[in-house]
């Protein structure tokens, strides 16, 4: 009674196997977000994990630029307290991970945290390898962050030896 759960089927293959993402949360945590929305005068039907929102955003970016659908992209969504790392192979989500380093840490601790984030990104890329079906990351996209960490784009490009671009999170929305 104290927890709530949900799941999302990410992929099904021809043999009948599925990749399933499962989320488990304490019910009080989920209720807190509903109460916040209600206090703001908003009605909500459901709470979704951030991965669903980032994936929907990426699909919208790809819809406006179809050439992206053929790329293998490392997407970093930097928020205040954390960074979500996702790998898309030909517009299919293949790997995701949340890293406990966000804009707050990058602005307060600068170069030290840039190095730590870079190490975590490299570890994630290695861990994603088996999921990527032989594909190599060809492009890095950053979103969700402000101008406070603009140096991160250059650091990632240089250290990962990949083209990097920053896309404003609301660019694709009217």
Q: What is the pLDDT of residues 64-76, one digit of tens each?
A: 888 888 899 999 9
Express each pLDDT in 15-29 by its tens digit.
Answer: 888 888 788 888 888
Q: Are the beta carbons of 55 and 93 closer than 8 angstroms?
A: yes
Q: How confident is the model at residue 172 (pLDDT cuts 50, 70, 90)?
A: low
pLDDT at 12: 81
DSSP of the chain: --EEEEEEEEEE-TTS-EEEEEEEEEHHHHHHHHHHHHHTT---S----HHHHHHHHHHHHHHH-GGGGGSEEEEEEE-SS-EEEEEEETTEEEEEEEES--HHHHHHHHHHHHHHHHHHHHHHHHHHGGGGTT----EEEEES--GGGTHHHHHHHHHHTS-EEE--TTTT--
Task: State the chain's mean pLDDT as an integer.
Answer: 85
Higher pLDDT, 174 or 58: 58
Over 80: is that where the pLDDT of 111 sits?
no
Q: How confident is the model at residue 119 (pLDDT cuts 50, 70, 90)?
A: very high
Over 70: is that where the pLDDT of 147 sits?
no
Question: Any bridge partners for residue 92, and if so which?
Answer: 89
Average pLDDT estimate for 35-47: 84
pLDDT at 146: 65
What are the C-alpha distances in Å from 160 to residues 85, 154, 163?
Answer: 14, 10, 9
Query: What whole-number distance in Å separates Cα of residue 48 and Cα of residue 53?
Result: 8
Q: How confident is the model at residue 174 (pLDDT cuts 50, 70, 90)?
A: low
pLDDT at 126: 92
Query: What whole-number distance in Å separates Cα of residue 61 and Cα of residue 56?
Result: 9
CA 169, 172, 173, 174 torsion-angle sign: positive
Express each pLDDT in 75-110 by its tens digit.
Answer: 999 888 889 999 999 888 888 899 988 888 888 887
Q: How confident is the model at residue 124 (pLDDT cuts 50, 70, 90)?
A: very high
């Amino acid at each position: 009674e104290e927890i709530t759960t949900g799941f999302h089927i990410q992929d099904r293959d021809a043999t009948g196997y599925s990749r399933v993402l499962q989320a488990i949360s304490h019910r009080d945590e989920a209720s807190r977000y509903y109460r916040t929305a209600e206090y703001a005068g908003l009605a909500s039907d459901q709470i979704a994990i951030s991965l669903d929102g980032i994936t929907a955003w990426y699909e919208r970016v790809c819809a406006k630029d179809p050439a992206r659908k053929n790329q293998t992209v490392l997407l970093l969504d930097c928020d205040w307290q954390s960074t979500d790392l996702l790998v898309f192979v030909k517009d299919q989500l293949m790997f995701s991970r949340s890293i406990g380093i966000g804009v707050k840490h990058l602005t307060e601790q600068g170069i030290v945290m840039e190095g730590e984030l870079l190490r975590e990104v490299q570890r994630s890329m290695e861990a994603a390898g088996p999921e990527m079906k032989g594909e190599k990351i060809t492009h890095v996209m950053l979103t969700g962050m402000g101008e406070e960490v603009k140096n991160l784009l250059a650091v990632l490009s240089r250290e990962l030896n990949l083209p990097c671009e920053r896309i404003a999170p609301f660019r694709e929305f009217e």
